[in-house]
Chain A
Amino acid sequence: MEAASIAAPARRPLDPVVQFLQQYGLIILLAAMPLYYGIHDLAADGSLTRLGNNLVAGVSSGAIWALIALGYTLVYGIIELINFAHGEIFMIGSFTAFELWSITFGLTPESAVAAIVGGLLVTLILTMITTGVLNVMIERVAYRPLRNAPKLAPLITAVGFSFILQNVGLLWQGSSQRSIPDLIDSGAAFLTIGGVEIERKDVLAVAVTVPLVLLLTTFIARSRLGKAMRATAQDPEAARLMGINVNTTISLTFLLGGLLAGAAGLIYALYQTNLWYFQGFQAGLIAFTAAVMGGIGNLRGAVLGGFIIGIISELATNRIGNDWVPVVVFSYLILIMVFRPRGLIGEETREAG
């Protein structure tokens, strides 16, 4: 029996346009902001210095977002759940760091350089441990018991924890934003290239983030535990059958995410010289946008997304106004979700929808 041939459906004239938009639309939207302001600057006073400063600040603040985004992406990669409380872990990290360096170690902007550096290193380690352990605890209490419940349940539990932690922050440092002493004179210029200032805080952010990210990626790529993580992320059942302890692996993932969030918290406290119990909520959403932009589940994507979001939010802060940053960033988030949920370098995996 022959198949009667049917006229092939007419290719709608807009198809190639839609395809092009899906491939490159996001990149165009992202590049639009720096390009626009670059052209605007050149037209206004012929100098790209301001843009350069924006980009530098963007990259360094992006480092903070990258660290937090990595936490989101690691967890999502392994249990397909968004850790709603992750932003609050970051906030607790900031608070803990400040508490440690200012009260426990009594560091002030007048302390000796060696004391500051040494003290901060110890603070970093202690903070990271605290937040790492906190994240693991949350997994044990909120996520593990509900692993077989409908996805709604752990989500809501995480929101609950996020609130509890916010309250802890509120009781700890008060309900309004609190300025803290600038321990390292973060705004001081470290280096100036072609009129563009690279400040101490920029160096700090990059100097802490880069080694941590390298350590993390090496750990995941080379170590046995790292392999276990990747295997569990791909196929938990198969991993279990191969003898991998899935529970421990998941806890380890949360630990790593928590460690990074703690580091981000410390950098943030030194960088912004400002603490607020609500900072985790906003940071969480922004970092999540970064993770999704890069491609959820993808480590390199999280880092890339972090830097991109850093640049965008820095441009928004500097050019439009601090108040509007959330609107700009969240609009990008929504656009990504609609047009390219798999992000810039994510694969079309079963998750991102």
Chain B
Amino acid sequence: MEASEAVDRPPAGDGPQDDILVADSVSKIFGGLVAVDDVSFVVPRHSIVSIIGPNGAGKTTFFNMLTGLYRPNTGAIAFNGQDITRVRPDKIMAQGLARTFQNIRLFGTMSAVENVQVALHSRTKAGVFRSMVRTPGVIREERESREKAHAVLKYVGLRESVFEDMSRNLSYGDQRRLEVARALVSDPSLLLLDEPTAGMNPQESAQLTDFMQQVREERSLTILLIEHDMKVVMGVSERITVLDHGEKIAEGSPQEVRENERVVEAYLGKQS
């Protein structure tokens, strides 16, 4: 009954100048509060780009607009050349834009495998009638989805012994891994990570940094991060965008941003 949601994606990259994501003068206003103020932003294909800024700068709000959870008040967003400004989150995800959440939002009472299988919803097509009678096609699709889930869980480093545990019982580190696995399993072309190293010690953060680069290479991904850990940001980003009070105040290479006065002020000002 349900046709596959996967939209044909344009071939990966026409060249190094191709931008996978373009946001043009995007704003978000809640009641009287301007959370994001006229931000324009591009993400070049295959790059690793970070968004940083003090707390409350509007970073997660911006992410939520990219993934379709919030509708921008002004501006437009394009992904792989297609306008996604007012598209539903599940459709955007089906087009290849996956994300993790700042506060882990796993389906707590589902197992790790089931969590990942949910993320395959847009890549599978068993409808209600065929599921009811369990046709051979459905059984095969279920088996394949379990296999894919197992594969990606192994890939992110989850031990097989916890695959069937309820995800809320997993350790914090495993939960974070599971979140990433969920985002990866659908073969996205752009991965949005919202504070992936929150709560991690330096060792784990370094591991994650390596993992990001590994994943970018092996799966031809583009990665967009929100991060607070400066070591990670400076270490892995090719370009950094800085938001403060909803506005873009700086953008450039790690070196440029580190030396930018406005950025230093924005952070130091908050720390006084």
Contact = CB atoms under 8 A, between A and B. Distances in A.
Let me know if chains A and B touch directly in the complex, using CB atoms closer than 8 Å. Answer: yes
Interface of A: 1, 3-9, 348
Contacts of B76: 6-9
Interface stretch (B17-25, B53-61, B154-162, B189-197): B17-25
A9 B42 contact: no
B147 interface: no
A184 B251 CA distance: 79
Listed from nearest, the 9 A-B pairs whose CB atoms lie closest are A3-B40, A6-B78, A9-B83, A3-B42, A6-B76, A6-B24, A9-B85, A3-B24, A4-B22
Nearest to B85: A9
22 contacts: A1-B42, A1-B239, A1-B251, A3-B22, A3-B23, A3-B24, A3-B41, A3-B42, A4-B22, A4-B24, A4-B42, A5-B24, A6-B22, A6-B24, A6-B76, A6-B78, A7-B76, A8-B76, A9-B83, A9-B85, A9-B86, A348-B31
Chain A interface main SS type: loop
A349 to B, nearest CB: 10
B33 to A, nearest CB: 12
A45 B10 CA distance: 70
A348 B19 CA distance: 37
A8 B75 CA distance: 7
Given A5-B24, A7-B76, A9-B86, 4 more contacts: A4-B22, A9-B76, A9-B83, A9-B85
A347 to B, nearest CB: 8
Nearest to A3: B40
Contacts, number: 26
Interface in B7-46: 19, 22-24, 31, 40-42
A255 B146 CA distance: 54
Nearest to A6: B78
Contacts of A4: 19, 22, 24, 42
Chain B interface main SS type: strand
A13 to B, nearest CB: 15
Interface of B: 19, 22-24, 31, 40-42, 76, 78, 83, 85-86, 239, 251
A105 B24 CA distance: 76
A6 B40 CA distance: 11
A5 B22 CA distance: 8
Contacts of A348: 31
A106 to B, nearest CB: 58
A3 B23 CA distance: 7
A348 B31 CA distance: 8
A1 B85 CA distance: 21
B77 to A, nearest CB: 8
Contact of A6 (B31, B83, B251): B83
A3 B85 CA distance: 16
A5 B78 CA distance: 10
A215 B78 CA distance: 56
A352 to B, nearest CB: 14
A6 B85 CA distance: 11
A5 B77 CA distance: 10
A8 B78 CA distance: 10
Contacts of A1: 42, 239, 251
Nearest to B19: A4
A292 B22 CA distance: 41
Contacts of B24: 3-6
A8 B23 CA distance: 11
A121 to B, nearest CB: 46
Contacts of B42: 1, 3-4
A5 B23 CA distance: 8
A9 B77 CA distance: 9
A346 B19 CA distance: 43
Nearest to B241: A1
A4 B19 CA distance: 9
Contacts of B239: 1
Contacts of B19: 4
A135 B251 CA distance: 59
A4 B78 CA distance: 10
Contacts of B78: 6
B262 to A, nearest CB: 18
Highest count of chain B CB atoms <10 Å: which of A1, A6, A348: A6
A8 B42 CA distance: 16
A102 to B, nearest CB: 53
Contacts of A8: 76
Nearest to B84: A9
A3 B83 CA distance: 15
A233 to B, nearest CB: 17
A128 B226 CA distance: 57
Contacts of B83: 6, 9
